[in-house]
Amino acid sequence: MKSKLFVPASRPELFAKALAGEAEAISLDLEDAVAESRKAQARAAVTAFLQSDAALRTRKTLIVRVNAIETPHFAHDMAAVVRPGLRLINLPKIESAAQVHAAAAVLAQVERAHGLRHPIGLLLNIETPRALRMAADLALSEPRVRGLQLGLGDLFEPLGIERRGTAAVAQALFAVRLAAGEAGIAAYDAAFADIHDIDGFRAEAELSRRLGFQGKSCIHPSQVAVANAVYRPSDSEIAQARKVLDAARVADAQGMGAYLVDAKMVDKPFVARAQAIVDSARALDLPP
């Protein structure tokens, strides 16, 4: 998911438009984007959309951000939106493995009730100091956890940390990436609130991409094309990755574990990274 577009669940007129756009994933937001007085109405709109032919046919990743597990809305959200075609439940305000276990148990119960055969994954928001400190434990807490998603706004604003401070952003990104890496799952970058500051969005995306993040959240369609471009492997990266894999096949046949490619030492971690790039290019139908 190079790009994941948030859509307020209270704006059902935007659902089809988002689905027809360029974002690789659509995240319907029942949490922060919906006022308390409209939770039930928004929930019903999401349920109807997930049952529509367009949603059932799409190849995009469909996600729903439910309300936090401590709220009275959580159980109602889960009962309503766990439907065929939904790929991920986005859990906000998660701070403990016990919360993840509880959410997974509810999810499994609703899947059984609805006769779903394919388990739906969990995408965990890392958006509090405790969540950041516990990120590795959260990532490893349940087999259903598919990724960690950083929420820099929620993390930084209460602490008075300046978002423009590159060092603070990089430190938070690095911590989340290491936690996701330990669990072998994906890490996704935060949303960027200023939709007019495309350069700021791009700079943050480029930083997270260098740190191994797979994509970035978008709150406006204008950000989607930038995210898709930043996280797409470049032609030079694909060519270099193929060169590494070719060299690896030769080296393996000769019984060598480490060798040089363009005067740079290569061993298993570099080969694994090259394979990931080539796999990504193949998934995007990019030319060899």
Is the Cβ–Cβ distance between 146 and 184 less than 8 Å?
A: no
Q: E-assigned strands of the chain?
A: 3-8, 25-29, 61-65, 86-91, 121-126, 145-150, 186-189, 215-218, 259-261, 264-266
- Residue 254, pLDDT score: 78
Whole-structure pTM value: 0.86
- Residue 243, pLDDT score: 73
Could you give the percent of the chain with pLDDT greater than 70? 93
- Kindly tell me the burial class for residue 254, based on how many C-beta atoms sit within 10 Å of its own C-beta (0-12, 13-18, 19 or more): exposed
Task: Name which of 169, 171, 211 is nearest 190 in CA terms.
Answer: 169
Measured CA to CA in angstroms, residue 223 lies from 3, 9, 202, 219, 232 at distances of: 9, 19, 9, 7, 14
Separation of first and last alpha carbons in the chain: 21
pLDDT in tens, 238-288: 777 687 777 778 777 877 777 778 878 777 777 777 677 767 666 655 545
Q: E-assigned strands of 160-214?
A: 186-189
**Which tokens is 75 given?**
């159980």
**Which tokens is 67 given?**
């309300």
Mean of the per-residue pLDDT values for the chain?
91
- Residue 256, pLDDT score: 77
- Residue 281, pLDDT score: 65
- Residue 244, pLDDT score: 74
Q: E-assigned strands of 211-258?
A: 215-218
Residues of the chain whose pLDDT is less than 50? Answer: 287
User: Count of alpha carbons within 13 Å of 175, Cβ hemisphere only?
Assistant: 20
The whole-angstrom separation of Cα 87 and Cα 181 is 21
- 267 Cβ neighbours under 8 A, 6+ residues apart: 257, 258, 259
Is the Cβ–Cβ distance between 177 and 148 less than 8 Å?
A: no
**Which tokens is 224 given?**
């989607």
The whole-angstrom separation of Cα 22 and Cα 159 is 34
- Residue 241, pLDDT score: 66
